[in-house]
Structure 1
Amino acid sequence: MSKAARAVKNVRKVVEKIEHKSKLRTNIPAGMAVAGPPLGPQLGQRGINVAAFCKDFNERTKDMREGVPLPCRIWVNPDRSYRLVIHQPPTTFFVKQAAGITRAAMCPGKEVAGKITLKHVYEIAKIKAQDPPQEFKTMEKICADVIGTARSCGIEIVRDYDPEEYAEHLKERAEVVEQQKKELQEIKEAKMMRTA
C-alpha cells in the first residue's frame, strides 16, 4: 500500500470519528415531551432515539407541574447517546406566575401588567441561581436580572401591595388584555383580506 493510500485511509478514520459538539437548546414542557414536531425532528436530525428521549425526559420531570416550560441543553455523543441538562423554568414564567398574570404587557413602560414584591424577586433569584449558567453570578446580579426581566414584561416591582387593590387592578387588566386581543385579531383579519 502506498503512502498516499495509507494517508487517505487514516483521514477517513478521523473523518468518521468527528464529534458534533454543538448542543441543542430547546424548551420542553414538563412531562409533555412527544415525538412529534418540533422536538421529534430536532432530535431525529442528530440521530437520537426520539421515543427513548421522550420517555427519559418525562420520567425525569414527572414530579414537576405538567406543562411548565423547561429550558433544556442536549449534547449528542458519537455513539448517538446524549447528555441532557434540564434548567429551571425561564424567569419570565416565574415573574408572570408571581404577578398572577398569563400575558405580559404589549407596551412595557407605558402599561403595568402586574406587580411583584422584592420578596418575590429574591425567591425567584434563589431558584434561578441553581441553573449552571448562573453559578458564577452573585445573588445581587441574579436579582438585577430578575428585575430587568420583570420590567421588560411590564411588571412593576414594589415593596408591598394591598391584595384587594391588586385584585381590582388584575380585573381591570383582564379587560385591557381582551381589548388588545380583539385589536390584534382585527389586524390579522385585515392582513388576510389583503393577501386573499
Structure 2
Amino acid sequence: MSKSVARLKSMKKVADKIDHSSKLRTNIPAGMAAAGPPLGPMLGQRNINIAAFCKDFNEKTANIKQGIPLPTRVKVNPDRSYHLEIHQPPASYFLKQAAGVSRGAMTPVKEVAGKITLKHLYEIAVIKSQDPTMDWKPLKEICVMLLGTARTCGIEVVRDLDAKEYGEFLEERKKIVEEQKKQLQEKREAKMLRTA
C-alpha cells in the first residue's frame, strides 16, 4: 500500500514539472508595444504584467527604427515572469525594403511588384541567419527559402539591375497600385451597399 502511495507522489511531482503554457507568437512594431488591443488582451490572457512587458519590449527595441514589425516569442513561467525572444524582421519586410516597394503583388504569378538582385538576396539571408530558428540552417537553404518568399510577394530576383530602368519601372508600378487600390475600394463600397 505504501509503495503505491509513494509511486503516486513521485508521479505527481513529475506531472507538476510539466510545462503546459503555450508560447505567445506575434509581430510587434519596434518601440511601439502598447497596453491596448491586440497586444494587451494577449498578454492579459497569459497573466503577464502588461505595463512591465511593454516597457521591457520598448527598451529592448529602442535601437531599432520605430514601427518595424518584429516577430516576438514570449514564454510565460509559472511565477508570471516571462522569457522574451525578439527575432529579426520578417523576410517579406526585408525583400520589400530592398525592392523599394510598400506592398507586394495582388497576383504574384501574373505581376511583378518589384525587383532585387542576387546580392540583395544574399545580404538578407545573412541577416535572417541570425534568427534563433535559422541558426542551424545553411546559408544556401535560407537563400532558397527567401527566393520562395520573394516569388510569393511578386518580387523578381535578377542578376543585375539598372537604376534608371528600375526607377521607371517603379513609377509605372505606382500607377498600377493606385488603380488596384481604386478597384478594391469600389468593391468594398459595392459590398457595403449590398449588405445595407
TM-score by length of 2: 0.91
How do 1:1-196 residues align onto structure 2 when only pairs under 5 Å count?
19-196=19-196
1:14 deviates by: 8.7
Query: 1:111-164 deviations in whole A, cap 9, x for unaligned?
Result: 110000000000000000001111111100000011110111111100111101
Q: Unmatched 5+ residue regions in structure 1?
A: none
1:20 deviates by: 3.1
In structure 1, distance between residues paired with 2:134 and 2:188: 40
Identity of aligned residues (%): 66
Given the superposition, is the C-alpha separation of residues 16 and 36 from structure 1 closer, same or farther in structure 2, using an over 3 Å criterion?
Answer: farther
Equivalent residue letter for 2:48: I
Equivalent residue letter for 2:161: Y
1:110 deviates by: 0.7
In structure 2, distance between residues paired with 1:151 and 1:12: 51
Q: Unmatched 5+ residue regions in structure 2?
A: none
TM-score by length of 1: 0.91
Equivalent residue letter for 2:23: K
Equivalent residue letter for 1:122: Y
SS at match of 2:133: helix
Equivalent residue letter for 2:139: M
Query: 1:87-120 deviations in whole A, cap 9, x for unaligned?
Result: 0000000000000000100011211100000000
1:22 deviates by: 1.1
Query: 1:43-80 deviations in whole A, cap 9, x for unaligned?
Result: 00100000000000000000000000000000000000
User: Any conservation in 2 of the 1:70–1:88 contact (CA below 8 Å)?
Assistant: yes
SS at match of 1:132: coil
Equivalent residue letter for 2:186: E
User: Any conservation in 2 of the 1:71–1:89 contact (CA below 8 Å)?
Assistant: yes
SS at match of 1:62: coil
In structure 2, distance between residues paired with 1:43 and 1:155: 35
Given the superposition, is the C-alpha separation of residues 159 and 193 from structure 1 closer, same or farther in structure 2, using an over 3 Å criterion?
Answer: same
User: Any conservation in 2 of the 1:129–1:142 contact (CA below 8 Å)?
Assistant: yes
In structure 2, distance between residues paired with 1:19 and 1:158: 47
SS at match of 2:92: helix
User: Any conservation in 2 of the 1:20–1:78 contact (CA below 8 Å)?
Assistant: no
In structure 2, distance between residues paired with 1:156 and 1:190: 34
1:15 deviates by: 8.3
1:19 deviates by: 3.6
